[in-house]
Amino acid sequence: MWDLRWVLLGLGALLVVGVLLWSKGVFTRRLLPQIPRRARSEPRIGDVTASDPELAADAEPTPVQAPRKTHKSPDRIITLRLIPRGDELSAARAVGALAEAGLKHGRYGIFHRDGTEGEPAFSVASLTEPGTFDLANLGDGTIAGLSFFLVLPGVGDPVTRFDAMVETARALTVELEADLHDEGGSSWSVQRERYLREEIIEYRHQLDRR
């Protein structure tokens, strides 16, 4: 009799404990498989694919920056100087000679020989700073000379432009009673002219191969 009572009491206690544990989810966590939760990382545009719509919806697009426009520096500048034989050169006389030679006063306040596509074939500046010609205030002013220069690559055939520059400068030495010198100040010579011309021809070949 007492043995049966103790057995019933034990079963009742186990039942109560089992109900309490079930209500707290102990058996649920043990019996049901645990599904690992995927760690959320910051999405990147390069990681998003069509098979991952959740990340694709959360991803912040990276702003696209417009390419910067760059101005290419000249490869080289060929310079030829015209120096008067006596004192400084009359600014008004120099401007008149340049105009008669077909050059036009324009951009940057200097003279240019018209070239291809509206770009100058070559240009002429004053050797007196700042190098510009103020046509409205020439008066009795003088300049130290003229600087003929050719910018490479520029527009148009560089050899043709060089020949035109040398021819114009040589003609103006007669008009302005002056002599020609290279960029280093040495007297201009046929040998120097041929040497520069050969360099420009080689440069033209390099342009054609680019």
pLDDT digits (tens, 9 = 90+) for 41-84: 333 333 333 444 443 444 444 444 443 444 467 889 999 999 99
Residue at 46 is within a domain: no
Residue at 29 is within a domain: no
Residue at 141 is within a domain: yes
What's residue 118's pLDDT?
87
* The pair of three-digit structure tokens given for residue 103, joined into one six-digit string: 């050059």
Domain span at residue 94 reads 76-209
Query: What's the CATH number where 203 sits?
Result: 3.30.1400.10
Residues 124-178: pLDDT tens digits? 999 999 999 999 999 999 999 999 999 999 999 999 999 999 999 999 999 999 9
* HSE, side-chain direction, 13 A CA sphere, residue 32: 9
Number of domains in the chain: 1
Question: Looking at the whole model, is its pTM more than 0.75?
Answer: no
Instruction: Measure the CA–CA gap between 86 and 207, rounded to whole angstroms.
Output: 42
Residue at 94 is within a domain: yes
Percent of the chain with pLDDT over 90: 58
What's residue 48's pLDDT?
36
- Say if CB 124 and CB 146 are below 8 A apart: yes
